């Protein structure tokens, strides 16, 4: 009965349209009241303890850095650089869209920040050049999923906090899968460009123009070097690196580029605080839910059920990925991480799956959930930015979903894709 209240209650509340954080809280409260053995004060204690974490501070700081970069002109400079280099090839702005997201991912770590900030610039440019709005929105939604794979990454930070895995190692492990995601999307765009005769720039801008664009974008491009170099060089912890990213972003916007005014800074902080509050409320609520899941010994039951199906690490990881794909269609990414990781990670490690490999597979799988209806968050963001019909975006985004799923399979089957750089460094 306890499992039915906890799991069935959550599903029922989500189907009724209740926000994820409140669905988690109410289903947890229902179980506590039903059993009657725990004081209600435990909810307040768990809520506060869940957020009392120094590594978790990296999340609001990375969100703030991404907001500052979106307002400082960095996104426009990155877009200009990639467009100067790639705009001439068939489907040029489609390739520019993906390449710019790969560069921006080294600054934001957030798919939502990419889709809402850089995505607005990309979609506007693609529509102006004659691209179908649905295709432009689909490319933007898909390319923004690269952000949380190539470091830094908000979901990877959260996975590291929940699992106790070294965040710096997880960042390293995301590089190769993230680059493969970008290359796979660009290959598909190249095929579509020939088939549909997609627009492109009339001529190559020339090496001097590339040099000027690179010079203008260089200060922004140094941000990932500062973040990742500081972490791997032992200068920063991930949280300190996020703080350094905020300071450097402010320096770029206020002093170097002078594209921001001091009056804009409070607004940026308010927007970041709003985004952070929604994430942290889910993290706190999910911590209570996850604790109850653990006390009810649901992970042990799941472990037993999965191991009766297979003891093969690869097969087990494929099954877990399939479950996460389905969850990603109906739940918010942060909630899935905080609920699913404590359940599935012990099962994975018990059959010899490396926690770093498991983390990259988990985050990559949940990125696909940002593109899948009915609750694909990135789809709603790009629909609002592009004004394209939602049905047109869905029609164009399915091939990108298929590409990411096909890429997920070798990442699961061949752990070295994720672990290669970790072992090298």
Confidence of residue 419 (pLDDT cuts 50, 70, 90): very high
Tell me what pLDDT residue 274 has: 84
Of the pLDDT bands very low, low, confident and very high (cuts 50, 70, 90), residue 365 is very high
Residue 406 confidence class, pLDDT cut points 50, 70, 90: very high
pLDDT in tens, 334-353: 888 888 888 899 889 988 99
Quick one: pLDDT band at residue 22, thresholds 50, 70, 90? confident
Q: What is the pLDDT of residue 109?
A: 60
pLDDT over 90 at 399, yes or no: yes
70-108 confidence digits (pLDDT tens): 787 777 888 888 888 887 888 888 888 898 888 876 665
With 0-12 / 13-18 / 19 or more C-beta atoms within 10 angstroms meaning exposed / middle / buried, residue 304 is exposed
Cα–Cα distance between 59 and 151 in angstroms, integer? Answer: 13
What does the pLDDT look like over 145-180, one tens digit per residue?
888 888 888 889 889 988 888 888 998 999 999 999
Contacts for 305 with CB less than 8 Å, ≥ 6 apart: none
For residue 216, give the nearest of 86, 65, 67, 76 by alpha carbon.
76
At residue 110, the pLDDT reads 64
Q: Which tokens sit at 398?
A: 């399915």
- Give the Cα separation of 264 and 100 in Å (integer): 25
Q: Minimal CA–CA distance to 153: which of 220, 66, 35? A: 66
Give the percent of the chain with pLDDT over 90.
17
Cα separation, 68 vs 123, whole angstroms: 20
> Which pLDDT value is given to residue 93?
86
Average pLDDT, the chain: 84
pLDDT of residue 179: 92
Specify the pLDDT at position 310.
82
Could you read off the pLDDT of 214-246 as tens digits, one per residue?
A: 898 888 888 888 888 888 777 888 888 889 888
pLDDT for 112 equals 67
- What whole-number percentage of the chain has pLDDT above 70? 96
- Which residues have C-beta within 8 Å of that of residue 313, sequence separation ≥ 6? 348, 351, 352, 353
* pLDDT band for position 253 (cuts 50, 70, 90): confident
Which of 31-45, 202-216, 258-272, 394-408 is predicted most confidently? Answer: 394-408
pTM for the complete prediction?
0.86
pLDDT band at 355 (very low <50, low <70, confident <90, very high): very high
Lowest mean pLDDT among 52-56, 282-286, 321-325, 403-407: 52-56
The closest of 383, 305, 374, 309 to 343, measured between CA atoms, is 305
Q: Is pLDDT at 283 greater than 70 in this prediction?
A: yes
Q: pLDDT tens-digit profile of 101-120?
A: 888 766 656 666 666 677 77
């Amino acid at each position: 009965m306890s499992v039915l209240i906890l799991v069935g209650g959550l599903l029922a509340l989500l189907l009724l349209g209740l926000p994820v954080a409140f669905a988690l809280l109410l289903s947890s409260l229902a179980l506590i009241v039903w059993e009657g053995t725990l004081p209600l004060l435990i909810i307040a204690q768990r809520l506060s303890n869940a957020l009392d974490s120094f590594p978790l501070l990296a999340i609001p700081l990375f969100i703030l850095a991404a907001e500052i970069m979106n307002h400082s002109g960095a996104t426009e400079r990155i877009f200009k650089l990639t467009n100067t280099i790639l705009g001439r090839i068939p489907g040029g702005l489609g390739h520019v869209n993906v390449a710019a997201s790969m560069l921006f991912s080294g600054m934001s770590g957030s798919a939502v920040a990419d889709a809402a900030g850089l995505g607005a610039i990309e979609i506007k440019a693609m529509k102006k050049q004659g691209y179908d709005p649905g295709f432009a929105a689909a490319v933007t939604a898909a390319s923004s999923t690269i952000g949380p794979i190539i470091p830094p990454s908000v979901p990877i930070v959260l996975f590291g906090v929940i699992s106790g895995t070294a965040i710096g190692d997880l960042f390293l492990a995301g590089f190769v899968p993230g680059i493969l995601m970008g290359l796979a999307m660009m290959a598909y765009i190249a095929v579509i460009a020939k088939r549909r005769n997609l627009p492109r720039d009339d001529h190559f801008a020339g090496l001097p123009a590339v040099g000027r664009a690179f010079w203008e974008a260089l200060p922004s491009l140094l941000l990932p070097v500062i973040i990742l170099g500081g972490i791997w060089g032992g200068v920063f912890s991930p949280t300190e690196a996020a703080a350094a990213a905020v300071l450097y972003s402010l320096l770029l916007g206020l002093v170097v580029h002078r594209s921001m005014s001091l009056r804009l800074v409070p607004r940026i902080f308010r927007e970041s605080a709003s985004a952070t509050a929604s994430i942290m409320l889910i993290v706190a609520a999910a911590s209570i839910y996850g604790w109850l899941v653990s006390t009810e010994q649901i992970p042990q039951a799941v472990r037993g059920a999965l191991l009766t199906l297979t003891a093969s690490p690869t097969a087990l990881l494929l099954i877990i990925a399939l479950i996460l794909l389905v969850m990603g269609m109906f739940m918010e990414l942060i909630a899935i991480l905080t609920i699913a990781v404590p359940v599935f990670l012990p099962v994975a490690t018990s059959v010899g799956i490396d926690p770093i490999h498991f983390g990259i597979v988990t985050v990559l799988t949940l990125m696909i959930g940002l593109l899948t209806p009915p609750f694909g968050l990135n789809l709603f963001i790009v629909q609002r930015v592009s004004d394209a019909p939602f049905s047109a975006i869905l029609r164009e985004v399915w091939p990108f979903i298929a590409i990411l799923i096909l890429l997920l399979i070798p990442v699961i089957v061949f752990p070295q894709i994720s672990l290669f750089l970790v072992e090298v460094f």
